[in-house]
Chain A
Amino acid sequence: MIASRSEIWLSRGVLITVAVLNLMPLIYLVGISFRAPQLVFVNPLFPLTVPLSFENYRAVLSQMDILRYLLNSIAFSGSVTVGQLLLAIPAAFSFTYFSFRFKNILLGLVILSLVVPFVVTYIPNYLLLAKWRLINTILGLILPMLGISLGFGIFLLRQHFMGFPREIIEAAMIDGANSWDILWRVVLPANLSPVVAVGIYVMINTWNQFIWPLLVGGGHPRSYTLTVAVQIFYTSPEGSDYWGAIMAASVLASLPTVIVFLLMRRKVLASFVEGALRG
Chain B
Amino acid sequence: MATRIPSAKILTACRAWYNTYLKKLVPYLYIAPALNFIIIFVFYPLARTFQISFYEWNIIRDRQNYVGLENYIRLFFDPNFRQILVQSLIYLLISVFAVVALPILLALLALQLTDKEIDLYQSLMFFPTVIPTSVAALVWVWFYLPTRTGLFNALLHLFGVTQPVQWLTNSATALPAVALVSNWKVMGFHFLIALAGLKAIPRDCLEAAYIDGAHGWSLIRHVILPLFAPTGLFILVITLLQGLEYVFVPIRVMTLGGPANASNNLMYAIYQEGFQFFRAGYASAMSVVMITLFGGFAYLQYRLLDRRVNYDR
* Residues of chain A whose beta carbon lies under 8 Å from any beta carbon of chain B: 1-3, 7-8, 10-12, 14-16, 18-19, 22-23, 25-26, 28-29, 32, 41, 44-45, 87-88, 90-91, 93-95, 98-100, 103-104, 106-128, 143-144, 146-148, 150-151, 154-155, 158-159, 162, 179, 183, 204, 207-211, 214-215, 226-227, 230-231, 234, 243, 246-247, 250, 253-254, 257-258, 260-261, 265, 268-269, 272-273, 276-279
Whether B290 contacts A278 by the Cβ 8 Å rule is no
**Once A and B bind, how many residue pairs between them come within 8 Å at the CB atom?**
296
Shortest CB–CB separation between residue B142 and chain A, in angstroms? 6
Give Cα distance in the complex from A215 to B49, angstroms.
18
Partner of B41, one of A19, A119, A148, A246: A148
Whether B249 contacts A28 by the Cβ 8 Å rule is no
Which partner residue on chain B sits nearest A143 by CB separation?
Answer: B41
Give Cα distance in the complex from A260 to B127, angstroms.
11
Q: What are 16 pairs between A and B in contact, CB < 8 Å?
A: A15-B106, A18-B106, A26-B127, A94-B27, A100-B28, A113-B43, A114-B305, A121-B45, A126-B59, A126-B275, A147-B41, A210-B133, A250-B138, A265-B123, A272-B126, A276-B234
Q: Is B21 an interface residue (CB 8 A)?
A: no
Whether A128 contacts B45 by the Cβ 8 Å rule is yes
Give Cα distance in the complex from A146 to B33, angstroms.
10
Q: Is B135 an interface residue (CB 8 A)?
A: yes
B side interface size, CB within 8 A: 101
Consensus secondary structure, chain B interface: helix
- Give chain B residues whose Cβ lies under 8 Å from the Cβ of A110: 34-35, 38
Pick the interface stretch among B72-80, B165-173, B186-194: B186-194
Most chain B CB inside 10 Å of its own CB: which residue of A111, A179, A231, A276: A276
- Give chain B residues whose Cβ lies under 8 Å from the Cβ of A261: 126-127, 130
Give Cα distance in the complex from A131 to B45, angstroms.
14
Q: Is B4 an interface residue (CB 8 A)?
A: no
Whether B196 contacts A11 by the Cβ 8 Å rule is no
A243 with B41: in contact, given A44-B149, A114-B305, A124-B48 (CB under 8 Å)? Answer: no
Whether B45 contacts A124 by the Cβ 8 Å rule is yes
A146 with B143: in contact, given A22-B187, A91-B35, A257-B132 (CB under 8 Å)? Answer: no
A1 with B111: in contact, given A119-B271, A179-B26, A254-B132 (CB under 8 Å)? Answer: yes
Give Cα distance in the complex from A159 to B311, angstroms.
11
Whether A11 contacts B241 by the Cβ 8 Å rule is no
Shortest CB–CB separation between residue A226 and chain B, in angstroms? 8
Partner of B206, one of A1, A155, A204: A1
Which partner residue on chain B sits nearest A149 by CB separation?
Answer: B42
A119 with B270: in contact, given A26-B127, A246-B138 (CB under 8 Å)? Answer: yes
Give Cα distance in the complex from A18 to B241, angstroms.
25
Q: Is B287 an interface residue (CB 8 A)?
A: yes
Q: Is B277 an interface residue (CB 8 A)?
A: no
Partner of B121, one of A19, A115, A211: A19
- Give chain A residues whose Cβ lies under 8 Å from the Cβ of B110: 11, 15
Give Cα distance in the complex from A98 to B25, angstroms.
11
Whether A107 contacts B311 by the Cβ 8 Å rule is yes
- Give chain A residues whose Cβ lies under 8 Å from the Cβ of B5: none
- Give chain A residues whose Cβ lies under 8 Å from the Cβ of B134: 208, 210, 227, 230-231
Q: Is B31 an interface residue (CB 8 A)?
A: yes
Whether B128 contacts A44 by the Cβ 8 Å rule is no
- Give chain A residues whose Cβ lies under 8 Å from the Cβ of B284: 123
Whether B155 contacts A45 by the Cβ 8 Å rule is yes
